Copies of this chain bind each other. A is one copy, B any other.
Amino acid sequence: MKFSIISFNNTSSARNGLITTDHSEIKTPVFMPIGTNGVIKTILPKELYDINTNIVLSNTYHLFLRPGHKLIAQGGGLHQFMNWDKSILTDSGGFQVYSLAKLNNISDEGVKFQSHIDGSSQFISPEISMEIQQSLGSDIIMAFDVCPAGGEDKKVIDNAVEQTNKWIKRCKSYLENNKSIYNWNQCLFPIVQGGVYPDLRIKSVNQLISYSTCGMAIGGLAVGEEKNAMFDIISMMDEILPKDQPRYLMGVGRPTDLVRSISLGIDMFDCVLPTRSGRTGLAFTWNGRINIKNSKYQYDNTPLNNKTSNFDLNKYSKNYINHLFNTNEILASMILTLHNINFYQEFMYAIRKNIEKGTFDAFHDEYIDKL
């Protein structure tokens, strides 16, 4: 994996870059749609190509439980399994074992937990997380970390930082001693923890920085803390994270969060918001967010996004999508999810264009409170 910076914004830390993996070129800042089970819900891969998606995120935790990483590996890996030719980043399972599973025990060795699907006893260690992600063939492998909730005591957060530090060594060691079964590069991102505590964040960065060869992630934010506290940490991290590597802010967020984080030097994002919202009737548009189920759209023949140029999405009127939701048609979720991902991709494109043209500040001010 390579990363190069293409242009800077003079009045903020926003920058345009290019990540090159063995599967695709990815212009940054980038938003990665989430394909938890090896599928972006309701979307065919070729539709994602049509709307300029070059990387997706999938989940170690889910694929480990169903269908199992060995099954996917015997078929040629996750790219082939899900018919996706471009890049894949996999989350390590660290976040999901805390947020989804019934947790039994965190030890130095790893995490014992009960599957949220069938209650079965399961175990993931740093080594197992690496084995799973290596078997899946992920272009970007995330370190196995401890991610406490936002409201935890400082002592708990500190312990998470220390455990994450012990585990990065084992992640790195596993990958050095076990070569990839694929003929492409698989690169490890450490995940910085430390909650909203500047001293713990600094400690975590210092512990992890020597393991960061291609990119670094900020975990443990957007997990319940105040928005301003989150941005204070991101701003502080901007000063201490390597500038020559992409910075990935995990689990964020709304378009307004993206604009603000980009001004603070973030390059990569993922969030369920555009996909999950698409299934519940919430549409992101350049004029704000709207609930397409609202009866006021029943006679509205206009499209959701008449600025879009690269897709036939603007041939679907608001009243048609409203009708599809009223009649419980799956196509409602399909069209709206596609619309929302397309909107996010066009939003990121607009940000990159504005950084390039030196007009990012005006764009930032226009959209910081809108979406």
The residue from B41, B75, B334 contacting A42, defined by CB atoms under 8 A apart: B334
The answer to whether A320 has its CB under 8 Å from any CB of chain B is yes
In the complex with contacts A71-B319, A334-B334, A327-B66 CB distance below 8 A:
yes
The answer to whether A81 has its CB under 8 Å from any CB of chain B is yes
The answer to whether A286 has its CB under 8 Å from any CB of chain B is no
Please tell me if the beta carbons of A326 and B67 are within 8 angstroms of each other in the complex.
yes
> A276-312: contact bitstring with B at CB < 8 Å (1 yes, 0 no)?
0000000000000000000000110100000000001
Q: What is the minimal beta-carbon distance from A96 to any residue of chain B, in angstroms?
A: 14
The answer to whether A349 has its CB under 8 Å from any CB of chain B is no
A38 / chain B contacts, CB cutoff of 8 Å: 320, 323
> A79-95: contact bitstring with B at CB < 8 Å (1 yes, 0 no)?
00111000000000000
Size range of the chain A interface in the assembly: 35 or more
Query: In the bound complex, what is the Cα–Cα distance between A74 and B46 (angstroms)?
Result: 33
Q: What is the minimal beta-carbon distance from A191 to any residue of chain B, in angstroms?
A: 26
Please tell me if the beta carbons of B75 and A317 are within 8 angstroms of each other in the complex.
yes
A76 / chain B contacts, CB cutoff of 8 Å: 301
Please tell me if the beta carbons of A67 and B319 are within 8 angstroms of each other in the complex.
yes
The answer to whether A315 has its CB under 8 Å from any CB of chain B is yes
Query: In the bound complex, what is the Cα–Cα distance between A88 and B125 (angstroms)?
Result: 57
In the complex with contacts A298-B67, A315-B83, A316-B83, A327-B42 CB distance below 8 A:
no
Can you spell out 11 A-B residue pairs with CB atoms less than 8 angstroms apart?
A38-B323, A41-B330, A42-B330, A62-B327, A66-B326, A67-B323, A67-B326, A71-B319, A83-B315, A330-B330, A330-B333
- 14 more contacts with CB within 8 A, not counting A37-B327, A75-B301, are A37-B323, A37-B329, A39-B331, A41-B331, A42-B330, A42-B331, A42-B334, A43-B331, A62-B327, A67-B322, A83-B312, A83-B316, A330-B334, A334-B334
Q: Which residues of A contact B (CB under 8 A)?
A: 37-39, 41-44, 46-47, 62, 66-67, 71, 74-76, 81-83, 298-299, 301, 312, 315-317, 319-320, 322-324, 326-327, 329-331, 333-335
